[in-house]
Chains A and B, each alone.
Chain A
Amino acid sequence: MPIKHLPLRLTLATAMLALASPTLANPAPDDWQSVLAEAEGQTVYWNAWGGDTRTNRYIDWVAKQMQAQYDVEVAHVKLDDTGSAVARVLAEKQADNNDDGSIDLIWINGENFAAMRESDLLFGPFAESLPHFALTNATDNPEVVTDFTLPTEGYESPWGKAQITFYYDSAQTETPPQDMQALLAWAKDNPGQFSYPRIPDFTGSTFLKQALIELTDQEKALYQPVSESDFETVTEPLWAYLDALHPHLWRSGRAFPDSGPNLRTLMSDGELSLAFSFYPTDAAVAVMEYELPESVRSYVLEGGTLGNVHFVAIPYNSPHKAGAMVLANFLLSPEAQAQKQSLAMWGDRSVLDIEQLDAENQALFEQGDRHPSELPADALSNTLPEPHPSWMTALQDAWLERYGVN
């Protein structure tokens, strides 16, 4: 490598010898007892988005359980953007730090996962060796082993489920739009009261995919890499739709909110009357925390909305892989999944096949009364699968090309 000729590099070698910790062999996921033994006393640095106090509180609860049950310390590294964790692992690889990375577990899915897999930045396969993995009943629930159409191949372990959920203020809007054409008509009647996050934001990009699935007549093409179809033809109806929609959006489409949570703030200020979130319980939680009025109601579009599973993955250079696996396994336990699903804790849906659990564990998932702003329990059955991740990137580039400069 040419860089070896740099004098800097020469001095580094000695410094590295002195400071690098001894290389550990990777634990074998199939030998669970030895994984448990190795995990004892480890500290797992879990990089997870930290923008939500409820998620943070849940992770805090998990940390306490892990300490008590497995003698594993969990440190939540709060990110403002999951991409920065990917960038971190990449920087470490760039600096040849292959066994003493600073991240042990990442909350991840979609294009971040695809990118890390492609650059060989993940450890695995490990997920299917986790004792609790069987509870997801993956044969009947293929979404727990598929991430944006890509098979996870054991490189990430399922954690929770999300689905696009719309919400509106029932005091201001009586009949919210039930599909994309109705949304356009609604926006014309209520100018400036709807928007979606600026691309390349995750939630904003999901809105594009949602609209594309409904508008295009070549839906099947979306589940193949974008290179295998004619992008222009497939997406043409989407751009025509957005061209018609944008003049009626918030700020006439001259600015877009930053993120999904930003939509909620604008609802809270009364600037928007209709918004959506990736978290079905988002609106109910916001009402409980005084952000939204009690008249807010949630619903899912008639034709269904995009949903996906979110996962946890272990970077290839994590020094605490055993601890990370024990944590991933604990996250799949009925106890942890039930806590996560309860609205009082977080309200994120379980990835377990609850009907297959024994009666005692099933009882853990039974909750009290539904919050009025929450989605009805049966409303989430109509879940549309995520397109291939290459579509997200292609749509983002095309959107920025068309609308990125006003």
Chain B
Amino acid sequence: MLRLAPALIIALLVFPVGAGLIMVLLPAFGYLPALGGYGASLAPWQMLFAQPGLGRSMAVSFASGLISAAVALVIVVLFLAASRGTWLDRGIRRLVSPLLAIPHAAIAFGFAFLIAPSGLVARLISPSLTGWERPLDALIINDPWGLSLMAGLVLKEVPFLLLMSLAALPQLAPEKRLMLARSLGYSPTIGWLKTVLPSLYPLIRLPVYAVIAYATSVVDMALILGPKLPPTLSVSLLSWFNDPDVSHRFMASAAAVLQLGVTVAALLCWWLLEQLIRRLTRYWLTNGSRQRGEIILRLVGRSALLLSSITALAALVGLGLFSLAGFWRFPEVLPQMLTLDHWQRSGPMLSTPLINTALIGLISTALATALVLATLENEHRQHIQPKRALWLLYLPLLVPQIAFLFGLVVAAESLGIRPQLGLVIAGHLLFVLPYVYLSLAETYRRLDPRWLEVARSLGVSRSAAFWRVRLPLLLAPLLTAFAVGLAVSIGQYLPTQLLGAGRVTTVTTEAVALASGNNRRLIGVWALVQASLPLIGFMLALGLPRLLGTHRRDLAT
């Protein structure tokens, strides 16, 4: 059974993505019998390329993916390089996992309210410092360059990359490397960058790729923060798929294929940059310079991550205030009155979505965790190196959701699989599984094999050793991976809405539907509910090991 696990995982992930892509590729080249398209034609592409501003849309999607990933990576790397295990550093690290749990859309709404001309920051300094009685008519959010979109993306990517780095770091024994570098006279930050980073980067490369793919095709954040004239490619493509003029579907399918192209191009470009940087820094790594830049790097390293975390938290505080706000207009810093109305009105509507959300999240994450454990245990028992084919695991993260989900709906319908809870859970599994694998694989592989050898030498069977030695030792990382999986599941909108035909309502689908009404008070309520669920998951993940008394300091990552 165990031997089948890797193949099963890959089939589970590859087949839906492949089927979805085929069902989008066919209409992109004119084949869609329901609309009278029977032949191969390039008309959808001609129509697509005739759309005004398409080039700009593509450019913004491409650039926001690369730039936000680069900025987030630099912030994380410099923080790790500069942090020395002080209370502040530990505090920031603790902040990070909850931030990972907050859905993108919630952060985007909160961030937009923070930086808008009528937003929280402007209110704090108006009219006292600025003299503004009315909000300034300035294009800050929705700027044509996508800068506010990139900033919003960075807020969410930093916690993810930091958590992934923290999970990978222990196996590199950074303290030993640093001690050696220090004994050779390197200042701590420079020493870390020269001795730890070159080994760390290959381990977090996949998460970085996932971040780039996500950022090039993100819809919810781009809708809220991204440019409008024209919007990003992902936003345009969603509106074409939903266009009342059904003939747009051909063009929308072509756009989905183009989106895949943009994402692949961004990944390729990043890979080329990697090669370039590797060449350029070869001299710097070995030039023996031990101190230069230490101060500035340390300052940036400490402040940038702190700033991004505080910004994300402030965005949440703004949402929280709005969920309780009575009338509240610029330039008032606080609402004129507080009220529980918005919570009370939403209360009765919360129960079904909450139950569905929990059910889908728990089942899909449990399935994902079981499959990942089976694959890793199989790898361990067969003494095999991680296979290259496991790259396929990341397919659902690297292929943009919007490029294959619309096709997947058609594929499922063709198979006679009707929208239902099971289909939604299967859809979530696509995205949960890779993240669980990402968070668990390294820790699993580096667990000291001597623990298991000791157990075996005491006459314990393989499976008993797995259940009684390995799992308890891995409890903390296992729970963290579970919490990451839950957070990913809870945040899914498109898969839930499309595969459930809207019948399976979760907190996220309700939040998005309500968000279309633009009532910021209600958005505040639902975003907080949405954020609180994964937050509970992370708190349990951190707290349970302590409660169960199996917390091992060296293993807990």
Contacts and interface: CB of A to CB of B under 8 A. Distances in A.
Contact of A102 (B32, B143, B501): B501
B329 A268 contact: yes
Contact of A404 (B230, B242, B521): B230
A268 B522 CA distance: 14
Interface in B498-551: 501-503, 505, 509-510, 512-522
B243 A95 contact: no
Nearest to B33: A1
B416 A18 contact: yes
Interface stretch (A48-56, A228-236, A374-382): A48-56
A19 B116 CA distance: 52
Contacts of B515: 51, 80
Interface stretch (A253-261, A320-328, A359-367): A253-261
Interface stretch (B133-141, B380-388, B469-477): B133-141
B413 A95 contact: yes
Given A102-B501, A271-B135, A264 B518 contact: yes
Interface in A95-113: 95-97, 100, 102-103, 110-112
Contacts of A50: 510, 513-514, 516-517
Nearest to A191: B137
Interface stretch (B64-72, B244-252, B438-446, B484-492): B244-252
A109 to B, nearest CB: 10
Contacts of A100: 418
A53 B418 contact: no
B228 A114 contact: no
B376 interface: no
A86 B244 contact: yes
Interface in A75-130: 75, 77-84, 86-88, 90-97, 100, 102-103, 110-112, 114-116, 118-119
Contact of B245 (A49, A79, A393): A393
Contacts of A15: 415-417
A95 B20 CA distance: 13
Nearest to B35: A119
B35 A3 contact: no
A196 interface: no
A269 B135 contact: yes
Nearest to A96: B414
Interface string B326-340: 111110000000010
Given A78-B502, A289-B519, A102 B418 contact: yes
A402 to B, nearest CB: 8
Contacts of B242: 81, 83-84, 86-87
Given A80-B515, A290-B339, A20 B246 contact: no
B32 A94 contact: yes
Contacts of A290: 325-328, 339, 341, 521
Given A78-B509, A290-B339, A403 B229 contact: yes
B326 A258 contact: no
B142 A400 contact: no
| Best-surrounded residue of B142, B143, B243, B517 (most CB of chain A within 10 A) | B517
A115 B135 contact: no
Nearest to B337: A290
Contact of B241 (A16, A18, A87): A87
A92 B518 contact: no
Contact of A270 (B35, B134, B325, B518): B134
Interface residues of B, number: 77
A83 B502 CA distance: 13
Interface string A246-276: 0000111011101101101100111100000
A388 interface: no
Contacts of B243: 83, 200
A100 B410 CA distance: 14
Interface string B223-264: 100011110000000010111111001000000000000000
A323 to B, nearest CB: 15
A401 B51 CA distance: 8
Given A50-B514, A78-B510, A261-B518, A405 B56 contact: yes
Contact of B410 (A77, A95, A118, A400): A95
A66 B93 CA distance: 53
Contact of A3 (B33, B118, B346): B33
A382 B357 CA distance: 47
B345 interface: yes
A52 B134 contact: no
A373 B259 CA distance: 46
Nearest to A392: B244
Contacts of B411: 95
Contact of A262 (B32, B143, B339, B518): B518
A293 B411 CA distance: 50
B34 to A, nearest CB: 4
A157 B196 CA distance: 68
A83 B238 CA distance: 10
B229 A293 contact: no
B144 interface: yes
B210 interface: no
Contacts of A103: 501
Contact of A53 (B118, B239, B519): B519
B521 A51 contact: no
B406 interface: yes
A40 to B, nearest CB: 21
A90 B518 contact: no
Nearest to B412: A95
A45 interface: yes
A71 interface: no
Contacts of A81: 242, 516
Contact of A49 (B117, B410, B516, B521): B516
Contact of B53 (A2, A77, A94, A405): A405
Interface in A46-66: 47, 49-53, 56
A119 B518 contact: no
B409 interface: yes
B137 A261 contact: no
Nearest to B228: A255
Given A51-B517, A91-B409, A259-B518, A406 B144 contact: yes
Contacts of B103: none
B271 interface: no
Contacts of B449: none
B34 A90 contact: yes
B207 interface: no
A15 B417 CA distance: 9
B38 interface: yes
A68 interface: no
Contacts of B152: none
B401 to A, nearest CB: 15
A79 B520 contact: no
B516 A115 contact: no
A154 interface: no
B137 A252 contact: yes
A8 B325 CA distance: 55
A97 B410 CA distance: 10
A291 B519 contact: yes
A53 B330 CA distance: 25
A53 B344 CA distance: 12
B415 to A, nearest CB: 5
B349 interface: yes
B52 interface: yes
Given A53-B345, A258-B518, A90 B137 contact: no
7 contacts: A12-B414, A47-B502, A87-B241, A87-B246, A93-B34, A95-B410, A265-B520
Given A81-B516, A405-B53, 6 more contacts: A1-B38, A83-B242, A91-B406, A119-B35, A269-B135, A393-B245
Top 3 A-B residue pairs of the complex, sorted by shortest distance between their CB atoms: A51-B517, A95-B413, A83-B242
